[in-house]
Structure 1
Amino acid sequence: MNGELRLLADIGGTNARFALEARGGQFADVEVLACADYATLDDAMRAYLGRAAGRALAVDIVRHAAIAIANPVEDDQVSMTNHHWSFSIEALRLQQGLATLLVVNDFAALAMSLPHLAADGRERIGGGIELANRPIGLIGPGTGLGVSGVIPAGGNRWIALAGEGGHVSFAPANKEEAAILEALWGEYGHVSAERLLSGMGLELIHWALTGKRLDAPAITGAALDGSSSDCRRTVDTFCAILGSVAGNVALTLGATGGMYIGGGIAPRLGKLFTESSFRARFEDKGRLRPYLARIPTYLITEQYPALRGVSAMLSDRVAALP
């Protein structure tokens, strides 16, 4: 990789993914570090760059960097809620000797990747035709439930939407889901979409349906290998609820540019997801069914999409520099 390199990172509570980007958008030297192995983010960045230098990459000329992090980013001070790292963006910039350090919410970065995904970085679920230069929606069940989207801003520019849509109130679509809601009301009071559409949500759905406690990996494993009809029922219910909530997001945003599913859970389900009632429930909005039927839904399959998105956001920031 010749010429100036940019440093990109996607920081979660467990892992920190780093990459170097050359002019033209070529990624190289992607490396995943365990957050627990480093006292600070500064230490993790130095460790990655040191190893990259050992591989003969010219990291000494890195001037611009961008970090997507699983945390709200509202001012200069960032304190991770799912890890102990806490830092000042400006202080970290100075420590790293950077001209630019952009730090953004990881789901906003994931949303910003959507207009830039290659055809082999997504899998279509159902029908519909995306419209150019229209809002694009995003929902992602994982540890929690992320909701975002991007809207066109003229030319090739897009603006990512940051919000807490995963915490909207859950609305059941049938008697079985109403029974799940009633069971969880007794436990939690307010029941959000995230309460069900997350790793913990799989466990709560299973408990509400069967009265049994199982962890999420056990539920998905037994559903995938066909060893438990109860676990299969749990996963089917999860996918159906995800379809309803994704449809709500698409309606709210007017996401005629497409609706995307990210996060860690859906890709692991394979055909249990792609052949589920997700798409039918996505469209099941009464008089608005024809509107939803025209919107395509995609499962994100690219390995590091947040890096793609944060790269686009860094390009916008650098282009705006005097």
Structure 2
Amino acid sequence: MKLALVGDIGGTNARFALWRDEQLQAVQVLATADFPGPEQAIAAYLHAQGLPLGAVDAVCLACAGPVSGDLFRFTNNHWRIERAAFCAALQIEHLLMINDFSAMALGMTRLRDGERLQVCPGEAQAGRPALVIGAGTGLGVGTLLGLEDGRWLVLPGEGGHVDLPVGSPREAELWQVLHQQLGHVRAEDVLSGNGLLALYRAICTLDGQPQVHSTPAAISAAGLAGEPLAGQVLEQFSRWLGRVAGNNVLTLGARGGVYIAGGVVPRFAERFLASGFAKSFSDKGCMSHYLDGIPVWLVTAEYPGLTGAGVALQQAYGAD
């Protein structure tokens, strides 16, 4: 192939890079609101790199939502992709579209030293699936499988929409408040950026405290600064993430390890590492021993979704 381009497209920003020698090069972040569609954004990116249309032979785009067929409409911005028109506009031969969390999961296969922090010690078992779970705009959950030929397979799912588990009397009380406010309570309703705010409001309601903060960023900052109530939010968030991750390990037999990805947890990484995550992760009654020795890592890599798109492109077309 002449040259490959990868993209990770969210609601606000689109990240693009060249994929060359199995590495990202020339990463650039563009605002989706500045362009009528992905063709124009990619054309602008190529122009900034001094590359003409036709210089890129293959493109892989990680897109939020289920990907199938030749037409994709983004759920969180105004962009759409029609395969034939896209390829013609950019003069490319190959277009691969994959789910954004599938790209995130594939990105775990190329983590470098210093791009993950150990949360729970252990050793990943060869040949067993790994769990990738990430709190961001929503809660993504995927299963990563290594194949015998050295390739990787991602089994995407909707694990963020499972029922929020309850593991203590305090959590039962919080669940009741959340149920009154939300109706059906999903894991994603708490374990996401907006979920951090929902949890804060539930704790304030339960404890009769005034609601001072109005954004997830403010809650995180206050918790890190030592505010007790905000600190409770970060702690309970961590514990609930542990319960959900542990449930998924039991369901999947994910003794290949657990990767905690997404943009939320790294914002309070030090607090998270000292939290009750590990205890809640392994708190499974008679099956608690099953979680012993399963390694858990917090991913701090800057562009794992872009890297995963490169891995997907390489596996599909041999792009290097």
TM over 0.5: yes
> Which residue of the partner structure matches residue 48 of structure 1?
45
Q: Structure 1: 5+ residue runs without aligned partners?
A: none
Distance across 2 between alignment mates of 1:100 and 1:4: 11
CA, structure 1 residues 184+307, in 2 after alignment: closer, same or farther (shift >3 Å)?
Answer: same
Q: Structure 2: 5+ residue runs without aligned partners?
A: none
> Which residue of the partner structure matches residue 20 of structure 1?
18
Deviations 1:255-300 (A, max 9, x none): 1111010111001112111111111111111222222121100111
Q: SS where residue 121 of structure 2 aligns? A: coil
Structure 1 contact 127–293 (Cα < 8 Å) conserved: no
Distance across 2 between alignment mates of 1:29 and 1:200: 31
CA, structure 1 residues 247+171, in 2 after alignment: closer, same or farther (shift >3 Å)?
Answer: same
Shift of 1:4: 3.1
Distance across 1 between alignment mates of 2:128 and 2:247: 17
Which one of the candidate residues 120, 145, 152 is aligned to 2:114?
120
Matching of residue 129 in structure 1 with residue 128 in structure 2? no
Deviations 1:153-205 (A, max 9, x none): 22211111111110001111111111111112122221000011011211111
Highest RCO, 1 vs 2 (Cα 8 Å, sep ≥ 6): 2
Deviations 1:35-81 (A, max 9, x none): 1111111110111011111xxx5774310111111222122211111
- Counting matched residue pairs gives 313
> Which residue of the partner structure matches residue 200 of structure 1?
194
Where does 1:231-242 land on structure 2 (aligned, <5 Å)?
Answer: 231-242=230-241
Distance across 2 between alignment mates of 1:265 and 1:67: 23
Distance across 1 between alignment mates of 2:216 and 2:301: 23
Structure 2 contact 132–260 (Cα < 8 Å) conserved: yes
The TM-score with structure 1 as length reference comes to 0.93
Deviations 1:291-320 (A, max 9, x none): 212110011111111111111111121149
Structure 2 contact 54–92 (Cα < 8 Å) conserved: no
Distance across 1 between alignment mates of 2:112 and 2:52: 28
Letter paired with 2:6: L
Distance across 1 between alignment mates of 2:306 and 2:4: 11
Identity of aligned residues (%): 40
Distance across 1 between alignment mates of 2:87 and 2:280: 46
The TM-score with structure 2 as length reference comes to 0.93
Distance across 1 between alignment mates of 2:248 and 2:85: 37
Shift of 1:95: 1.6
Deviations 1:225-253 (A, max 9, x none): 11x21000011000000011011111111
> Which residue of the partner structure matches residue 317 of structure 2?
318
Q: SS where residue 65 of structure 2 aligns? A: coil
Structure 1 contact 236–276 (Cα < 8 Å) conserved: yes
- What stretches of structure 1 move > 6 A for 4+ residues in a row? none
> Which residue of the partner structure matches residue 221 of structure 1?
221
Matching of residue 38 in structure 1 with residue 44 in structure 2? no
Structure 2 contact 8–63 (Cα < 8 Å) conserved: yes
Distance across 1 between alignment mates of 2:250 and 2:26: 40
Which one of the candidate residues 143, 161, 183 is aligned to 1:189?
183
